[in-house]
Amino acid sequence: MIDLKGKKIILASKSPRRASLLSDMDIPFEIKVREVDESYPDTLPPEEVAEYIAKQKAKAFDDLKENEIAIFSDTVVVNQSDVLGKPKDFEEAKTMLQGLSGNSHTVYSAVCIKTSTQEVSFTDRTLVTFLPMSEEVLNYYINEKQPFDKAGAYGIQEWIGMTMIQKIEGSYFTVMGLPTAILYQKLNQILKEDN
């Protein structure tokens, strides 16, 4: 449905979920990833962290060709004012999930779209509410699903999302890691302006 007008889309992400979402949007792309320091200043407000990191990732691609459009993304889970990244191990995953249990938290997914001449970035947020989770549920989920590559130690599309999330306010896809509707609009806008 999207007319790329001869442009090539690059998804600069190792995330299988982002690749799957972009694929489901019928957007052809190739994956190119460059290692980037994903640390951020301690003074940065939690709601700005994801966009800051997405822009850092974009800086590593200063050699884009005229016909290339690169998509960078980052997702953070914010519980109260704590930014939850990817857990290092079982214990950290459990601590994160115990904090989310029976509470609401915010997921911020940011995207930076870059061409050889311009850069556009945005952040979308979704409020997620978990049911109270027992020790048994947490142990089962972490052992079975190994959520160590996911911010906040959970994937909404997995077992825990299906069984333990009470409600969400906002986009489901933002929680998965890519605000698809806004991305689609922005890509179309960039392609129109480029002609």
The tens digit of pLDDT for each residue in 52-109 reads: 999 999 999 999 999 999 999 999 999 999 999 899 999 999 999 999 999 999 999 9
The tens digit of pLDDT for each residue in 12-50 reads: 999 999 999 999 999 999 999 999 999 999 999 999 999
d(CA 109, CA 120): 14
d(CA 59, CA 37): 11
pTM: 0.95
The answer to whether the beta carbons of residues 85 and 151 sit under 8 Å apart is yes
The tens digit of pLDDT for each residue in 141-169 reads: 999 999 999 999 999 999 999 999 999 99
The answer to whether the beta carbons of residues 182 and 124 sit under 8 Å apart is yes
> Which sequence spans correspond to the domains of the chain?
8-193
The whole-number pLDDT of residue 102 equals 98
Both tokens of 53, joined, read 């990191």
Second CATH level (architecture) for the domain 8-193? Alpha-Beta Complex (3.90)
Q: Residue 195 — pLDDT band, cuts 50, 70, 90?
A: low
Q: Which residues have a Cβ under 8 Å from the Cβ of 22 and sit 6 or more positions away? A: 9, 11, 29, 71, 178
Both tokens of 17, joined, read 């979920």
The tens digit of pLDDT for each residue in 162-194 reads: 999 999 999 999 999 999 999 999 999 999 887
* Tally of CA atoms within 13 A in the half-sphere of 141 that contains its CB: 27
The tens digit of pLDDT for each residue in 128-138 reads: 999 999 999 99
Both tokens of 160, joined, read 């825990």
| Separation in Å, CA 180 to CA 21, 31, 98, 169 | 8, 17, 29, 16
Residue among 82, 60, 80, 79 nearest 13 (CA): 60
3-state secondary structure of 93: helix
Q: Residue 1 — pLDDT band, cuts 50, 70, 90?
A: confident
Catalytic residues: 74
The answer to whether the beta carbons of residues 162 and 3 sit under 8 Å apart is no
Which comes out higher in pLDDT, residue 2 or 95?
A: 95
